Chains A and B, each alone.
Chain A
Amino acid sequence: MTEYEAVIGLEIHTHLKTRSKMFCACSTEFGKQPNSSACPVCTGQPGALPVLNQEAVNLAIRCGLALNCTINKKSVFARKNYFYPDLPKGYQISQFDLPVTSNGFVNIQLPDGAEKRIGITRAHLEEDAGKLVHQGAEGIEGATASHVDLNRSSVPLLEIVSEPDIRSAEEARAYLDKIKSILQFAGVSDANMEEGKLRCDANVSIRPAGQKEFGVKVEIKNMNSFRAVERAIKIEIERQKQVLTTGQTVAQETRSYDEAAGRTVSMRSKEESHDYRYFPEPDLLPLLIDDAWIDRVKKELPELAEQRIRRYQDEHGISAYDARVLTLDKAVSDFFDAAAKLYAGDKKSIVNWLTTDVLGYLKTENLELSQTKLTPENLVEMLGLIDNQTISGKIGKELIVQILKTGASARQLVETSGRRQITDESTLQKIVQEVLAANPQQLAQYRSGKTALKGYFVGETMKKTKGQAAPQLVNQILDRLLKI
């Protein structure tokens, strides 16, 4: 059987965090009344002309710097021509052969801890289209009516195109995570997929391992979450392997990911693909960026993820791995910074709680940190209760889920549930003695040299106290009683 290698490149579209649209003064605010953020320019009225939003350029430069790109001194806007009801002018103003930034890279972490560099071909500015809302069907096909909302029309986008350096669905996910983190830290975009502020298409091909030439490329669209991107790529790689192993050839085409069915479906073949007839946008002058402009943006550049990772290691002695995990999501990293300021103890314990319990919860519940009720204050309050032995860490693990869900104070939860830690030595000693008495066989084995059984006695004591026994104290008592 031939071994195949996947070759993947991602195209990420991200909304830029500007107050006004790309070519007019309309607001970019999300969730407004349909067509309330519209003017002659962004609705494509005859005779209206675009005027470039300087802030969009600032953010593009900022993003370019964060992605280690070259900022091109001269870039050119181009018209990308196609007809669709959500595209008011019948063309999208984009960039084609001269993008604002190009030739960058990011480093991603592989599962084995090694770093891998993924090249960035280019990141270019373009405007978004409007949004269609259909009645009677999911899409425009078969709909009884379709409505156009032009609030999103001409919202600034940056399209980040990677080199075909990605080799697996997992790497694609790691790359996406990384880009999202960079966009958030640089203050370029909220990069949130739910509001459509980040969208991703994937180019996937496979080739026999060791072969230099690329295989036939398939573009996958309609992936609505990071998880969907990962899954869709995995599914597409498998599909292409199937095609090749049965002696067929992969067709160059665009496929749509059907999440419910767990498969990709052909949208259009190469022959049906659009000829966008790009040509330089005559209504806009070439975009000229001088060194002074770049320097200005550099000065305003916020602390990026890489800098935070270094800071976490230097200031708090956090491991490189944990520092990376913390900075994957800016919200998590900001949360850590806020909690670290409030917490007098070892900051590593904040890291432990965040990276294991909190992130684990977010992953299983498929939530963003901001969608929970956890605050730096209520986390630090709980850590304090553990430190002064009011509760055990084990109880903390139960409490944190409640806090995430309800935002309740840990102290109150302890008081109302009575799940305070048993720290009274005589009470605890009595319980331990009962445990030893109830397990004579294990006690005998321990005494004959199987000292690992100490853990068993700890466990039994915790069970008996419903986890409320202070573990350190249990250990001390056991050590004393078992010596006898």
Chain B
Amino acid sequence: MQHLTLKELQKKLRGGETTAVEAAQKVFTQIQKHEPVVKAYLQTFEKDALEQAQKADELLRSTNGAAADKQPLLGIPLAIKDNMNLLNTETTCASKILKGYISPYTATAVQKLQAAGAVIVGKTNLDEFAMGSSTENSAFQQTTNPWDRARVPGGSSGGAAAAVAADECFGCLGSDTGGSIRQPASFCGVVGLKPTYGLVSRYGLVAFASSLDQIGPLAKTVADAALILNVIAGYDEQDSTSVKQPVKDYTEFLDRDIKGQKIAVIKELLGDGIDDAVRQTIQTALDGLRKQGAIIEEIAMPSFKYALAAYYLVATSEASANLARFDGVRFGHRSKNARDMLELFKKSRAEGFGAEVKRRIMLGTYALSAGYYDAYYLKAQKVRTVIKQDYNKAFARYDAVLSPTSPSVAFKFGEKVNDPLSMYLSDIATIPVNLAGLPGISVPCGTAGDAVSGTVGDAVSGATGGLPVGLQLVAGEFAEQKLLQIAAAVERGSRFERIRL
């Protein structure tokens, strides 16, 4: 049962073939069984979840399943990344500075899940304040990749991706600032969607970089991601940057063929710096798309070479301000060794933040400093404009652009954590999408070196063979329907199979 997709479970619940309580119980059994190794969750809410599941069952029973028309996620066990507020639960962002912080309110996207009947089973691990690409920056635990426990799950939504891959939930909300949904989805062989900036409310998502952050689903399939997006998308008056858009059914185009659809492959993201195994898997997936009638062409995106630099200026600048509220005054960690106000600020922050967070705060503070603003922050904003223009040119001719989600498959623990630059480079393909505010999705399109697929699920494999490869599609602003349509075609055309723990 826990191996079902969200869509399959939805059908069974509605048809009375199973119950929400059973689904929740199966999920918690799976959690108990695999969490000692996977460590995807920072906390779980078994008691509350089962109570909610019971209520969902009563509703389903009394309405003969019709309640699910109004509440499409009724009784479905889902998780959320632990940087989203949920009333009266601890929200830590995997940081010591927020240890013990109890949310006084619920994030809009989470509230929408609840209103749609979803059962929230727990909050998943992440890189501290969503800063990282391996979830190794969590202050509390190391989440392992369900495909290979010696490898990272990616990040920063590593807990979310691992939980979905390990069938410890039927979907999870993640957040994506530079690839934090898509890259872990790619590493763990699940689907990860970052919607257009402004499609999903950020209210209640603890901000990392406000102009880049976006909440989106991590799911077992493209259809599941679409079902969750249906619930969380939409204007929210509490988020001024959310966009007034007519509500769409994102599942509408999923079964349509892609005959004649024009897809551009980004030349720069299939060349140097991309692992051979990844490139080969992507090439195979491209053949699959061609077979389905898509027209594949190659384009250049010359502005991408500035994307990483621009990203690390914009994101860190915004982060330096966003994280200023963690000062030990009102909530979170307060140093016990402070003798005066300045020491209170300094020591609380020194003790509470981890190394990567400090690194980014310092970088951002520097970039915004008097005399440097024009050369760094302003210049980076100009790069954003150029990247957007490059994308716009592409979307004038193509329905979507395509690349690997990440230059490599999941890497090993410790492999990059002491080399920030190489860690930053693992987001090279995903970062331009956030800078341009566009929707992007990572879909598993196969496993690396399919010849050695015998290693799938192997506990401590050394080779990269058999590890999932994510294919990234990017579409124009608010073109999520089209994006999901093509993603579904990738899914149909690939030989990928989800792992079963």
Contact = CB atoms under 8 A, between A and B. Distances in A.
Interface string A42-56: 011111111110000
A270 to B, nearest CB: 12
A81 B361 CA distance: 13
Tell me what chain A mostly uses at the interface: helix, strand, loop, or mixed.
Answer: loop
B73 to A, nearest CB: 22
B241 A283 contact: yes
Point out which of A79, A89, A91, A284 has the most chain B C-beta atoms below 10 A from its C-beta. Answer: A79
Interface residues of A, number: 31
A44 B325 contact: yes
B170 interface: no
Interface in B201-247: 202-207, 209-211, 237-241
Contacts of A34: none
Given A47-B206, A140-B341, A282-B210, A88 B325 contact: yes
Main secondary structure of the interface of B (DSSP, over half): loop
Given A88-B325, A283-B210, A45 B104 contact: yes
B369 A275 contact: yes
A91 B105 contact: no
B242 to A, nearest CB: 9
A90 B320 CA distance: 10
Nearest to A141: B340
B330 interface: yes
B324 A43 contact: no
A455 interface: no
A40 interface: yes
Interface string A77-96: 00101010100111100000
Interface in B304-331: 317-318, 320-321, 323-327, 329-331
Interface string A268-295: 0000000101110011110000000000
Contact of B324 (A50, A89, A146, A282): A89
A49 B203 contact: yes
B203 A48 contact: yes
B373 A49 contact: no
B93 interface: yes
A90 B324 contact: yes
Contacts of B211: 282
A477 interface: no
B207 A47 contact: yes
A148 interface: yes
Nearest to A273: B370
Given A46-B206, A47-B85, A90 B327 contact: yes
B183 interface: no
Interface in B7-34: none
A238 B365 CA distance: 40
Nearest to A50: B240
Given A40-B104, A83-B327, A88-B325, A46 B369 contact: no
Given A48-B203, A51-B240, A285-B240, A83 B369 contact: no
Nearest to B324: A90
B84 interface: yes
B237 A51 contact: yes
A282 B318 contact: yes
Nearest to A43: B330
Interface string B74-86: 0000000001110
Interface in B403-427: none
B238 A85 contact: no
Q: Most chain-A CB neighbours within 10 Å: which of B205, B330, B331?
A: B330
A108 B204 CA distance: 49
**Among A44, A284, A285, residue most surrounded by chain B Cβ atoms (within 10 Å):** A44
Contacts of B107: 47
A46 B101 contact: yes
Contacts of B331: 45
Contacts of A283: 207, 210, 240-241
Interface in B128-180: none
A421 B295 CA distance: 108
Given A81-B321, A89-B325, A90-B325, A49 B105 contact: no
A47 B203 CA distance: 6
B281 interface: no
Contacts of A81: 320-321, 324, 368
B368 A279 contact: yes
B311 to A, nearest CB: 14
Contacts of B345: 83
Contacts of B323: 90
Contact of A279 (B84, B105, B377): B377
B204 A284 contact: no
Contacts of A88: 325, 329-330
B353 to A, nearest CB: 13
A89 B207 CA distance: 12
Which of A52, A90, A278 has the largest count of B CB atoms less than 10 A from its CB?
Answer: A90
Nearest to B364: A277
Contacts of B50: none
B91 A46 contact: yes
Given A83-B327, A90-B321, A52 B105 contact: no
B199 interface: no
A141 B340 CA distance: 8
B191 interface: no
A249 B369 CA distance: 29
B208 to A, nearest CB: 11
User: Which of B101, B105, B202, B209 has the most C-beta atoms of chain A within 10 angstroms of its own C-beta?
Assistant: B105
Interface in B343-401: 345, 365, 368-370, 373, 377
Contacts of A279: 317-318, 321, 368, 373, 377
Nearest to B201: A49
Contacts of A91: 321, 324
Interface in A50-72: 50-52
B239 to A, nearest CB: 5
Interface in B225-272: 237-241
B325 A47 contact: no
Nearest to B237: A51
Interface of B: 83-85, 91, 93, 98, 101, 103-105, 107, 202-207, 209-211, 237-241, 317-318, 320-321, 323-327, 329-331, 340-341, 345, 365, 368-370, 373, 377
5 contacts: A45-B85, A48-B105, A91-B321, A282-B241, A284-B240
Given A49-B203, A90-B323, A282-B211, 6 more contacts: A47-B91, A51-B237, A81-B324, A81-B368, A148-B329, A285-B241
**Shortest Cβ-Cβ A-B pairs, 3 listed:** A90-B324, A282-B210, A277-B368
